Structure 1
Amino acid sequence: METSQNPNLNHLLAALPTAEFEHIAPQLELVAMPLGDVLCESGGQLQHVYFPTTAIVSLHYVMENGASSEIAGVGNEGVLGISLFMGGNTTPSRAIVQTGGYGYRLKARVLMEEFNRAGPMMHLMLRYTQALITQISQTAVCNRHHSVEQQLCRWLLLTLDRLPSNELTMTQELIASMLGVRREGITETAGNLQRTGLISYRRGHITVLDRSGLESHTCECYNVVKKEFHRLLCDGRNRQDPSASHD
């Protein structure tokens, strides 16, 4: 395990007031979240909720024929497991680790006990859920109305926001699966972005060379999602350690 990890790297845990955080801290378990690990299948019920720190989890909707696309991502800004406290217990989406790393898991029972106290944990989780709904809604609109280039730029930027560097480990096949488009479309688009000097792509590694240029090529969807997360969650980060990362 990485000894440098701490719960404050997750923005939701960092936003909890000291008393509420100390109440659950002994129950938080640091876990490795390797690339490709399936945390929950469609229709499955989570026994734990996950607060990623350096990992990113992709929520996929899987069709009857096996095709799938990403409906949202969960990184250091959020939590996997909103179905538990929203009352549905299960969801039709699959949760799979998109970027390997670490996170903290908490038994579902412990989260629900804290949530049902109707205190800061409940209010924070509900605000996060609203932000996540915005991300899901905006993804649906983006996939319907915007070009593959705009979708790819949006996805790259949202992923970068959850990482400590400008490098991503991701194949074109996986990106195509995330966006629900043909691999050829991703190959052509990534090639165009590389030729214009915005990214460098080599053997499954993507390096963003010009973030501002990438932002100029994306659609409004990126800023809509980013601003909503900021509006709903940023003012709560009152317990974050100075060593923790910021947006």
Structure 2
Amino acid sequence: MPSASASLIEGNLLLRALRASDQALLAPHLEPAVYAKGATLFEAGSEVTHITFPVEQTVVTLLITTRDGRSAETATIGHEGAVGGVVSQGRVPASTHAVAQIGGLTLRIEAGRLQEAKRRSPAIDNLLARYSDCLLAQILQASACNALHPIEQRCLRWLLTLQDRIGGQTLPITHELLAAMLGVQRTYLTRILRTLQEQGLIRVGRGRITVLDRRQMEGAACECHGRVRDHFEMVLGAVYAADGLDRLEPPPAEGPGGAPERRNGTVRG
């Protein structure tokens, strides 16, 4: 197994869950790829030639864009999953637009290579089938959430989903990007974030949102985040590593102007 792929495999929970023999089937065909923030993995209507496994803190969002240019998130995928023909079984036209929401490393495999590995290994086939079910559950729950729940709860659901995938309490997200994910105007979202900040749930900074009270956020959010997470855990096991979230340190205090407080000459946060 090439050393680069072997080390990166540990950064994706799906790949890491496979036995060494099954990893060995995939490793020669997994190629590292780096995506900048905002980069397109594939566009709606294009043929999906590769399946991409985000590594560590890389996060990909699946978007639906309407003819008038508006967009909304249908699924957010991080190191717990994969994007690109996972549900549809390979080289078929994409129904969504896939964008690197948080840029970074990924592992890619050509769709035909993955199909061959699935034919050779029932374990790989079973794992990806289970993940496909979980991804579909996330998409369906997001559709219901977008139709039925108020923007405040949808915003909290999305922030919790992102924190699940990157860990830590500071989320590198701009108002513009979050507004696009939720399908609302930035000015409207700014008012919503101000309300959530006044409630002591988050702290809004330039290009980032800090989670202040995860448990209260979960209580104030709709049930959609919890349902998706429970489904993942029932079908795939504890892919979100909730115990890791429980061990997070409190967010750093901010200095004047909202900058992270400096302690002992270093910037914390």
Alignment TM-score > 0.5, same fold: yes
1:242 aligned partner: none
Matched, 1:9 2:11: yes
1:152 aligned partner: 155
| Post-superposition offset of 1:16 | 1.2
The TM-score with structure 1 as length reference comes to: 0.89
Q: State how far apart, in whole Å, the 1-side matches of 2:31 and 2:168 are.
A: 25
Residue pair 2:170, 2:210 contacting (<8 A) in 1 also: yes
Q: State how far apart, in whole Å, the 2-side matches of 1:203 and 1:43 are.
A: 35
| Post-superposition offset of 1:86 | 2.6
After TM superposition, the structure 1 = structure 2 runs for residues 31-110 of structure 1, keeping only pairs within 5 Å, are 31-53=33-55, 54-82=57-85, 86=89, 89-110=92-113
Which one of the candidate residues 215, 228, 231 is aligned to 1:228? 231
Residue pair 2:84, 2:90 contacting (<8 A) in 1 also: no
- 150-159 or 39-48, which moves further after superposition? 39-48
1:163 aligned partner: 166
Q: State how far apart, in whole Å, the 2-side matches of 1:118 and 1:17 are.
A: 11
- Residue 109 of structure 2 aligns to a residue whose secondary structure is strand
Q: State how far apart, in whole Å, the 2-side matches of 1:80 and 1:246 are.
A: 24
Q: State how far apart, in whole Å, the 1-side matches of 2:30 and 2:118 are.
A: 15
Q: Extract unaligned runs of 5+ from structure 2.
A: 246-269
Residue pair 2:90, 2:111 contacting (<8 A) in 1 also: no
| Post-superposition offset of 1:218 | 0.3
Residue pair 1:85, 1:115 contacting (<8 A) in 2 also: no
Q: State how far apart, in whole Å, the 2-side matches of 1:143 and 1:184 are.
A: 19
> Which amino acid in structure 1 is aligned with residue 107 of structure 2?
Y
Residue pair 1:31, 1:102 contacting (<8 A) in 2 also: yes
Q: State how far apart, in whole Å, the 2-side matches of 1:180 and 1:88 are.
A: 29
Q: Structure 2 vs 1, CA of residues 151 and 85 (structure 1 numbering), >3 Å: closer, same or farther?
A: closer
After TM superposition, the structure 1 = structure 2 runs for residues 189-204 of structure 1, keeping only pairs within 5 Å, are 189-204=192-207
Matched, 1:120 2:123: yes
Q: State how far apart, in whole Å, the 1-side matches of 2:91 and 2:153 are.
A: 33
Which one of the candidate residues 29, 32, 37 is aligned to 1:30? 32
Q: State how far apart, in whole Å, the 2-side matches of 1:3 and 1:200 are.
A: 37
Residue pair 1:7, 1:14 contacting (<8 A) in 2 also: yes
The answer to which structure, 1 or 2, has the higher relative contact order (CA under 8 A, 6+ apart) is 1
Residue pair 1:83, 1:90 contacting (<8 A) in 2 also: no
Deviation string 1:165-205 (CA, Å, 9 cap, x unpaired) is 11111111211110112223311111111122211111111
Q: Structure 2 vs 1, CA of residues 84 and 129 (structure 1 numbering), >3 Å: closer, same or farther?
A: closer
Larger Rg: 2
Residue pair 2:89, 2:115 contacting (<8 A) in 1 also: no
Equivalences, count: 238
> Which amino acid in structure 1 is aligned with residue 47 of structure 2?
Q
| Post-superposition offset of 1:141 | 0.8
Q: Extract unaligned runs of 5+ from structure 1.
A: 238-244
Identity of aligned residues (%): 36
Q: State how far apart, in whole Å, the 1-side matches of 2:65 and 2:46 are.
A: 13
> Which amino acid in structure 2 is aligned with residue 200 of structure 1?
R
Q: State how far apart, in whole Å, the 1-side matches of 2:89 and 2:165 are.
A: 25
The TM-score with structure 2 as length reference comes to: 0.82
* Aligned-CA RMSD value: 2.2
> Which amino acid in structure 2 is aligned with residue 73 of structure 1?
T
Residue pair 2:91, 2:111 contacting (<8 A) in 1 also: no
| Post-superposition offset of 1:97 | 0.5
> Which amino acid in structure 2 is aligned with residue 105 of structure 1?
R
Structure 1: 4+ residue segments shifted above 3 A: 2-5
| Post-superposition offset of 1:83 | 5.2
